[in-house]
A and B are shown apart, each in its own frame.
Chain A
C-alpha cells in the first residue's frame, strides 16, 4: 500500500496500535497499562521530532512545495473523498506540540483511578483524532478526525471528572457539537463550490485553494460558518463558556490535552480552512471577528481577575490567550500569523503545565479554591516554583515562550497598514498588564504568605513521574522562549500561500 510508505500515517497508526495494546492488557494490570501508554507516547514524541528534522532537511534540500509528504488515496469514489495527507511548517510544529503534551499527559495521569485502562483508551482515541486532524489536507478526513477528537471528551470528563462533571461534559460536548454543525454546513458548501467545472468536486483543500472557485457571495455565507465552527473550539467570545466549566471538571490530563491541543484545532482550522479557502470573505468580514477576538482577549483577562477557583482562572486565561491566536490570524500578515502559531505552541505547553500543576496541587489539598490555600511554596517548593514559571510564561517573561509569541503577534499586528487594526492591537496589548495582575494575584495567594491550612503542612512535594511531566513542559517552554528563530523559520514560509491569497483579493 502506497499510503504506508508515508510516515505521516504512522501518527494515526501509533495511537491506534496503542489502543490495541491497551485493549489487550488486563483491567488490573496497571503496570502493563502504564508501559503501553508510555511506549505509545514516547514513540509519538520520537516520530514528531523525526518529522521536524525531516521537514527541515527537506526544506534545506530545496523542497519549496506548500506541503511536503503528500499522499492521496481514494477513499470514497462517488464523492471524491480521499485520504489526503501532507504537512507544512505549521502542522509540523502543531504535531510536535501534540506529541509533547500527550507525553506529559500520560505522566500526569500516572495514578489515574478508577478504570485506568479505559481512561487511557479514550485518551489515545482523542490523540488519534488530534494527530489525524493535523496530518490531513482533505476536508472530509479533517472533519472526521475532528469529531473523533471531540467525542472522547464527553466520556473523559463525564466519567473521570470532578465537581459538576455531568453538566460540564454535556455543555462542552453540546457547544462543540453545535460548532461542528456550523462547520459541516461550511464544509459541504465549500465542497459544492470547490471547482468551476461541475461534477469534479473535491475535498482536497489544496486543490480547492488552487481552483479558487468559491463565488464571493457564497464566501460571505460560508466564511462565518467555518470561522464560527472553529471559533467555538478556539474559545472565541461569546462562544467560550464551555471552556471554564469544562476545564474545571476535566481530569488533569484531559485539561492538558484539551487546552493544550484541542483548542489549537480551532485556530489551526480557522486559518487553514476558513481564511485560506475564502480570502475574499475573510477580508470583508474579518473586522467582525477581529472585534470579537479583541473582546475575548481583554474580557477573558478581566474575568480571570476575580475567579477563586484555580482552574477557572486558568480557563479564562485560556480564553484570553486563545483569543490572541485568532486575533493574530485575522491580521492577515505572515508575522502576526507566525505569532499566532507560536502563541498556540506557547499556550499549549504553558496551559498544559498549569493544569498539570493544578492537578497535582488539587490531588494533595483536595481544594482548588485559592482562598483556602496559602503559603504552599513552603510546603511544596518544586510545584511552587513550577507554578511561578508557568505564571511567568503566561504573563510574558522574556526567555519563556509567552513573550516571544505575544511580541510577534503585537509587532506583526501593528504592521497592519489600517489604522483600525493598529488601534485594536494597542487595545489588545493591555492584556499583558491584566495578565500580570491575575497571575500575581494567584501566585501571591496560593504560594506566598503564611500557610493557611495547618493540615497542608504534612503534604509532600512532587514525586518522580510528576517531575518528569512538569520538567518536560518547562524545558519545552524555555526552549521556545530562548530560541524562537528556530521555530519561526519552520513556520513562517507556510503562510506565504495564505497571505498571497489574501492580498490577491484586496
Chain B
C-alpha cells in the first residue's frame, strides 16, 4: 500500500474542519485560540506534505511552515497576554460576556 499525498491531506482536512467548528461554536476565548491553533497546524501539514511530495528538490513549503510556527508562537503569546489582561478587567474569558468595548 502506498502512502500517497491524499492520505496525509485527509487528516489535515479533518483537523481544519474541527478548527472551524471549534472557532465558531466555542465561547471560551482560550478554546477559540486552541481551535485557531488546530487550523494553523493543519495548514502547516499541507505545506509540508505538498512540498515533500510534489517538489522534493525544493524546500519552500518546509521553510514556510518553519516561519509559520514561529509566527504562531508569537501570535499565541500576544493573544494569551491579551486574554489574561481581559480576564483581569472582566473576570471572565467568555466572549459573549465581554461586550464593553463593543459599539
Report if A and B touch in the complex (beta carbons < 8 A).
no
List residues of chain B with CB under 8 Å of any chain A CB: none
List residues of chain A with CB under 8 Å of any chain B CB: none
